Structure 1
Amino acid sequence: MFTGIVQGTAELVAIEEKPQFRTHTLRLPPERLAGLEPGASVAHNGCCLTATRIDGDRVSFDLMQETLRVTNLGLLKPGDRVNVERAARFGDEIGGHSMSGHILCMAPITRIIRSENNRQIWFRLPADYRRYLFTKGYIGIDGISLTIGEVDDGDFCVNLIPETLERTNLGFREEQELVNIEIDPQTQAIVDTVERVLAERTEGVGVS
């Protein structure tokens, strides 16, 4: 489990390609290495990955084909930076919202509105997931727990404070780039349940 409070960014320093498989290596800052062992979970742009090898400050992770297909991790190249968060532990403060690290889809950035002390970024969600969009609802963007500001059909925006821009890769994202999306699990469960119940009632009405 993760909280969506990104702890910083880390540089991707190496990629090892194999058929339908990839190992990538991050250089983690000292504060993210404390107590880290092979088998530990670390979120990369919101995607939960398992540490497979640790060599000093270089930590390697394996990515299967499905991860490369569904997330923006397959688009990375050495020198890129990803948002990182160590797995939450019992007793940690949950400053964001509970996140699983399971990415549903990617969404392109459609518009960036810059002002002196904050930034508004608009995204376009694929049609299959738009029913989960609600103004003031939670959403995970590249692993960051954020509140939806406005919804306009399949487009939605978030408003970012300087701290978020400084700590995460949303500070240097540009239009048309793809971000990882995780829908708030509670929102998803409620919407799916309501849709199922309404469908069952509708089917029942037609039974004679």
Structure 2
Amino acid sequence: MYTGITRGAFPVANVSRQPDLLTYDVELPEALLEGLVSGASVSIDGVCQTVVAIEGSLVRFDAIAETLQLTTLGDLAPGQKVAVERSSRVGDEVGGHDVAGHVSGTGRISSRKVDGHVWDLEITVPARWMRYISTKGFIAVDGSSLTVGERDASGSFWIHLIPETLRLTNLGEKNEGDRVNIELDARTVAIVDTVERVLAERDA
């Protein structure tokens, strides 16, 4: 489990591709390496990944076919920066919201606006997701806990990024047309699905 407060964006060092497996290394600073062991869970661009090896500052991960199909990890290339968060521990401050690292799928940046220090991104997603996305609600974009700004029920929403968010994530490097990982808020999904089911059963 994660809090959606990423600790920075760090470079991918190596990428090895096989038909059903992608292996890649991420170079992490000493602060994020402390206590990290093989088998630990780390959020990489919002995707829960298992550490398979540690060699110096390089941490290795594997992504299998299902992960590659549902997320952007299949697009990774050496030198590209990914947003990283270590798994949360009991007693840690939850500065964002509960994020599982189980990505719902991907969205695409359809518009980017920069107004002084604030960056605005419009993200297009499948229209069926919009019943789970509400103005001022939580959403995780590449693992970052963000507040939904404006929304269009036809299939898009805006997020507004302050300088600190841009500093600690890779969202400032995204361009129009780029894909991002989206994790819908699990509590919202559960509530909406339950209400819809109860209403459907009542009207049946």
Where 1:194 maps in the other structure, the secondary structure is helix
Report the Cα distance in structure 2 between the residues aligned to 1:17 and 1:74, rounded to whole angstroms: 9
Matched positions, count:
203
Q: Aligned ranges for residues 68-147 of structure 1 at < 5 Å?
A: 68-147=68-147
Where 2:92 maps in the other structure, the secondary structure is coil
Provide the residue aligned with 1:14 in structure 2: 14
* Deviations 1:1-26 (CA, angstroms, capped at 9, x unpaired): 00000100111111122231111111
Where 1:189 maps in the other structure, the secondary structure is helix
Q: Aligned ranges for residues 149-188 of structure 1 at < 5 Å?
A: 149-153=149-153, 154-188=155-189
| Backbone CA RMSD of aligned residues | 0.8
Taking structure 1 as the reference length, the TM-score comes to 0.96
Structure whose CA Rg is larger: 1
Look up the equivalent residue of 1:29 and give its one-letter code.
Answer: P
* Deviations 1:130-186 (CA, angstroms, capped at 9, x unpaired): 211100010000000000011112110011101111111011111010000000111
Provide the residue aligned with 1:206 in structure 2: none
| Residue 76 (structure 1) shift | 1.1
Which runs of 4 or more aligned residues in structure 1 lie more than 6 Å from their structure 2 counterparts after TM superposition? none
State whether residues 137 and 148 of structure 2, in contact with CA within 8 Å, keep that contact through their aligned partners in structure 1. yes
Report the Cα distance in structure 1 between the residues aligned to 2:123 and 2:70, rounded to whole angstroms: 17
Report the Cα distance in structure 1 between the residues aligned to 2:148 and 2:63, rounded to whole angstroms: 29
State whether residues 114 and 120 of structure 2, in contact with CA within 8 Å, keep that contact through their aligned partners in structure 1. yes
Provide the residue aligned with 1:195 in structure 2: 196
Report the Cα distance in structure 2 between the residues aligned to 1:120 and 1:18, rounded to whole angstroms: 37
Report % sequence identity. Answer: 47
Look up the equivalent residue of 2:140 and give its one-letter code.
Answer: G
State whether residues 15 and 76 of structure 2, in contact with CA within 8 Å, keep that contact through their aligned partners in structure 1. no
* Deviations 1:95-130 (CA, angstroms, capped at 9, x unpaired): 000010000110000111111121111001112312
Where 2:97 maps in the other structure, the secondary structure is coil
Report the Cα distance in structure 1 between the residues aligned to 2:141 and 2:104, rounded to whole angstroms: 11
Q: Aligned ranges for residues 36-51 of structure 1 at < 5 Å?
A: 36-51=36-51
Taking structure 2 as the reference length, the TM-score comes to 0.98
